[in-house]
Each structure stands twice: as structure tokens, then as C-alpha cells.
Chains A and B, each alone.
Chain A
Amino acid sequence: MEVASFRKKELISNYVILGIFAIVSLAPILVLIFNAFKPAVEFGTNPIGLPNNITFQNFPDAWIQGEYSKIFFNSFKLVLGTLILCISVSSLAGFSLAKLNPKGSNLVAIYLLVGISIPAQMFLLPLFLLWKNLGLLNTHIGLIIIYSALNAPFATFLIRSYMIRLPDELFDAAKIDGANILQQFFRVAIPLSWPVLLTSALVVGLAVWNEFLFALTFVQDEELKPISTILFAFSWRFINNQALVSAASIMMVAPVVILFLLFQKKFISGLTSGGVKG
């Protein structure tokens, strides 16, 4: 679709300007990819170009020296745990706010909206003290609960705005067939809402995978750290071996890239959904 119809000559300048910005966006990432396939000795002579000799050795080296099998497992555990907890509580609430609308539920919506805009620094320290007293510091479940709370308002609104558009007749028909509210939720709402559930899962999963501040604060045990804080420490530990650090970075990015290429529309619409509504 063409909006502001441009003349042919103008199109060339469009492509030139856009091309420059595309290079600014992508070239730094390309350098990272090149470096991951470069032998360590080549960095002195060829720091940002294509590798002269391609090597795959950096990946197993980084994997073993950084104990990445353990770290990946930690991060997957956090992502999966958060998805299970966050998406289930959010879809329950989203369903109720969309279709059941109990008295006073608009207050819940306002509360959650305010909750989204509270800066993390407001509750970070008391939460830390609370978690310390509850023995939840340095545990994955502690971090999963935090991540679920941080992402639940967003997921709830996203799911609610989708479920609100499901036709009421479907629920009425289920009611006539004798379905109670729980059955309406599981048999009607959930199966019809899988696109929005997938979008929420992708956005929340990405947020957890990339999260830094809470991971830094709440998990200090090296055995339990997720990939983001490990990579932070790794980049200082191997500051003189950029080949290893680049390979480790690529390993953190790879799952995101694959999912992004598969579901780019869902990612983009999910991540910008707050903005599009205006």
C-alpha cells in the first residue's frame, strides 16, 4: 500500500536514505557475527571485517568455558516458568475483564495501568528485603514470580483486548449446552484465543530472556544465574578474547533471531501494541 505517493526520482533518494539507516542498524550486528567466526589471532589485524579464516571453534570453546549448558538451562527454566505462571493468570483475568465484567472490575484495569508505569526503582529494594526474608533470593521461583508480576498487566490487557472481540453468541451457545464459566473459559475462550496467547508468550518470553536488572539483583549465585548476567560477567572475564565473547553473544541472540524470523509480525505487533492503540 502506498500512502504518500512519491515520484520516481524521489524514490531513489528514499532508498538511499533508508539504506544508510539500515546499515547503521545492521552493520554493528554483522560485525558481531563476523567476529564470532574469527580465530582469536585474527583480531589484531582484522578487527571488524569479514573473517579471513572461518572457524567454528569459538562456539564449543565459549560453551565449555562459560558452562553454557547450565546457563541455558537456567534461562529456559525462567522463561518457561514465567510463561506458565504469567500467561495462565493473565488469560484468566483477561477473560474475566473481557466477558464477565464483574462490578468494580474497571478499577482493576486502572490499578494495572498504574502498575505498568511504576518505575522498578520504586519497589526494587523493599522487594529485595522481602525476598530475603522469604528465602526467595537466589531461587528461580523467586525470579519467576517477579517476572510474572512485571509482565502480567501487559499480557492481561493484550488478551482482554482480543477476547473482547470474540462473539458473545459462542458463549451463550455454550451456556445453553450447560457449560459453566470454567468450561466456557477452557473450551471456548482459550481455543479461540491462541493467536493472542502466542503473541503474549513471545513478548513475555523475550522480556524474560533479555532481562537484566532483576536478574542482577535477585540471583547472585553463579550456579543459578541466567544468560544475561552471565554474559555481562563473561564479557569482563574474557575482555582479551573477543572471539569467545562474540560467540557467547551470538548464542544468546540465536534463539531470538530464529523466533523473530518465524513470528516477526506477532513480535512487532505485540511489542508495539501499547503504542498502536494510542
Chain B
Amino acid sequence: MKIFLNKSLIAWYFILPVLFIHLFVIAIPSISSLALSLTDFRGMGKLNYIGFENFIELFDDRYFIKAVYHNVIWTIAFLTIPVFVALVCAYLLTGIKRGQLFFRLAFFFPYMLASVVNCQIWKYLFSPIYGIGTVLSGFGLDLFTTSPFTTKEYSLFAVAFVDGWHFWGFLVVIYLTGMYQVDSSLYEAADIEGASKYQKFRYITLPMIRPVLVFTIMIITIWSIPVFDYVFILTKGGPAYSSEVIGTYMYSQAFERFNVGYSSAIGTMMFFYVLIIVGLFGILRRLGWEV
């Protein structure tokens, strides 16, 4: 009996519940996914080992290639516009006292709202019957006469815009925290030298917050791959696959066509992508980059 009350064993009892739940829900299914990706399983019936055939097929699947391409566009879009806007706004916020809290809350607020609600808001605003288009046409401007969500050329960008609109305030708060950790004597010195607002941003703020900046670049690179909610709710990947991303494509393979093996292969590729990105940033850190 006494051996079960050993101090380090008790410490492990405290950790076990979390480990158990996590293994049960995430680790074991993930490992099953690895195994299933090598089979032709279709949800029921026989299960055959087919090696890497699913992965080979993926490289020939033009809808999958298209989805990957859309995810690349998505990642680039998120790494540029929201990061740039958030950096500018955070920097401007450091310069003001009155109203700073208001702006911080205003920018952050959409991040708190459910994806369903945010999508509902923008579906309405972009709708040709009710939205901004009707108001603009009153001024003789024929913009948004069709919803960008239902137009092949714009659907992906429209969805990315909505997701970015909800996300960028999160970046503002992170950058702002980083900027407040910068030694203010650096700015004082720059003021004496007569540096402009832009020069102070370029030569003091930006280099000093590099660790935070690199961190956000890493999470955006990782989070841009499993995007699902906004695409699924706004367009379901359509029209005609024009906004299909890997997340929604995997979902339709899994739950509409029950291609268990095939969709597991997609999930597995996503997992390895994340591993590579995390590893890459780990290596950068090892190489002495302050990230």
C-alpha cells in the first residue's frame, strides 16, 4: 500500500487525468489517422493496406492542389495585411493616453465574437439586397451588386477579409504588450537626435519587438493551414471550389464522401506541415535568433 503513496507517484496522480483525456481524444485518434492514411478504408466494410497510394493520389488531385494553393494565398494575405495594420495601430496607440483603452477594446472586440455571428454580419453587409451595395448604389456607385462570397473571382479574398477583420485586433494587443517592454530611454535618445515618427518605428520599435513579431508570424503560418469555420460558414468552399481550402476539402472528403483513408492522408499532411514549421522556428531559435 505504501508504495502507492510514494511522493513522486502522488505527483503523477495529479497529472494523469489531463494526460488520460488528452491521449484519449487527441493522441490516439491522431495515431489512428496516421495508420488509416495508409488504407483505403471507407468507413465500413473491409480495410486494405495500400501504402502511400493516398498520398500519391493527393498530388494528382487537382481540387486538393487548388486548396493548397488557396491556403498559400491565405497565409501570405494574413502575414502581410493584418500584421502591417496591427503594427501601425499598436505603434500609434503607444503614443496616446486618452482613449487608449477604448481603441484597444474596439480593435479586440471582434476577436471575442463567434465565427457564426461574424459571418452573419458580413454576409448581410455584402448581400446585394440589404448590404453596403444598396447604399452605395444610392450614390450611383455600382459596387457589390453581387455578393463577393458568391463570385468566383473574389470569394476567397472576401472570406479571408472577414477572418482577418476578426483576427487583427488580437495582433494589436500582442504587439502593444511587446512595445511597452521597449526601454523608453531609447526613444528619448532618438528624440534628442530629432528622429521622426517613422524613423523611431523603423529603427527602435521594430527591431526591439522582433521576438514578438516572429512569434506572431509563426502562429499565423500554423493557423492558416487548418482554417475551417469562416470558409465553411460563408461559402462552403464554393462557388465551384473557388474558395476551397484544405480544411474544408478534408471535411467534405471525410463527412460527405466517407473517404476515411483519403481524408486521413490530408490530415496527416497538415500535421507534418505544422511539425515542419514548429521545427523550423525551433532551429532558428537554436541558431541564436532571438525568436
Stretch at the interface among B4-12, B54-62, B72-80, B146-154: B4-12
| Interface assignment of A55: CB less than 8 Å from any CB of chain B | no
Q: A123 is contacted by which of B108, B204, B216, B267 (Cβ under 8 Å)?
A: B267
* A209 part of interface (Cβ distance < 8 Å): yes
**A11-B95, A18-B89, A231-B116 known; A96-B174 Cβ under 8 A:** no
Residues of B within 8 A of A249 (CB): 116-117, 120-121
Closest chain A CB from B121 CB (angstroms): 5
Q: Answer whether residue A84 sits at the interface, using C-beta atoms and an 8 A cutoff.
A: no
Chain A CB within 8 A of B65 CB: no
Q: Which of A4, A18, A231 is most buried by chain B, counting CB atoms within 10 A of its CB?
A: A4
Known: A11-B95, A89-B21, A253-B114. A47 touches B197 (CB 8 A): no
In-complex Cβ contact of A129 among B10, B43, B129 (8 A): B43
Known A-B contacts A48-B132, A118-B26; A108 and B124 likewise in contact (beta carbons under 8 Å): no
Main secondary structure of the interface of A (DSSP, over half): helix
In whole Å, how far is A206's beta carbon from the nearest beta carbon of chain B? 7
A195 CB-CB contact with B under 8 Å: no
* A119 sits at the interface (CB 8 A): yes
Are B216 and A275 closer than 8 Å at their CB atoms? yes
Interface hit among A28-36, A61-69, A166-174: A28-36
Instruction: Determine the residue in chain B with the shortest Cβ distance to A93.
Output: B18
Beyond A1-B180, A275-B212, whether A228 also contacts B187 by CB under 8 A is: no
In the complex, the answer to whether B12 meets A125 with C-beta atoms within 8 Å is no
Measured CA separation A153–B179 after assembly (Å): 28
Does the CB pair A126–B29 fall under 8 Å? yes
A232–B116 CB distance below 8 A: yes
Categorize the interface residue count of chain A: 35 or more
Chain B interface, DSSP helix/strand/loop, else mixed: helix
Which residues of chain A are within 8 angstroms of B114 by Cβ–Cβ distance?
209-210, 212, 228, 231, 252-253, 256
Hey, what's the 0/1 contact readout for B69-98 against A, CB within 8 Å counting as 1?
Answer: 000000000000000010011011111110
Interface string of B128-160 (1 = CB under 8 A from A): 011110110000000000000000000000000
Q: Of B8, B17, B116, B188, which is within 8 A of A102 by CB?
A: B8
Contact indicator B32/A126 (Cβ below 8 Å): yes
Q: In the complex the two chains form, is B17's CB within 8 Å of A130's CB?
A: no
- CB pair B109–A260 under 8 Å, yes or no, is yes
Contact B226 A120 (CB under 8 A): yes
Q: Is A14 located at the chain interface by the 8 A CB criterion?
A: yes
* A165 on interface, CB distance cutoff 8 Å: no
Residue of A96, A121, A278 ringed by the most chain B CB atoms within 10 A:
A121
Contacts of A108 in B (CB 8 A): 15, 19
User: Is A217 at the interface (CB under 8 A from chain B)?
Assistant: yes
B112 touches A14 (CB 8 A): no
B107 touching A25, Cβ below 8 Å: yes
Would you call B197 and A6 a contact (CB within 8 A)? yes
Chain A, Cβ-Cβ closest to B263: A125
Nearest B residue (CB) for A125: B254
**Within 8 Å of chain B (Cβ to Cβ): is A41?**
no
**Measured between C-beta atoms, what is the minimum distance from B49 to chain A in Å?**
16
Known A103-B8, A112-B22; judge A242-B124 contact (CB<8 A). Answer: yes
16 examples of A-B residue contacts, CB within 8 angstroms: A11-B96, A18-B96, A22-B102, A25-B109, A28-B125, A96-B15, A102-B12, A108-B19, A118-B30, A119-B267, A123-B29, A123-B33, A130-B28, A185-B14, A217-B255, A260-B109
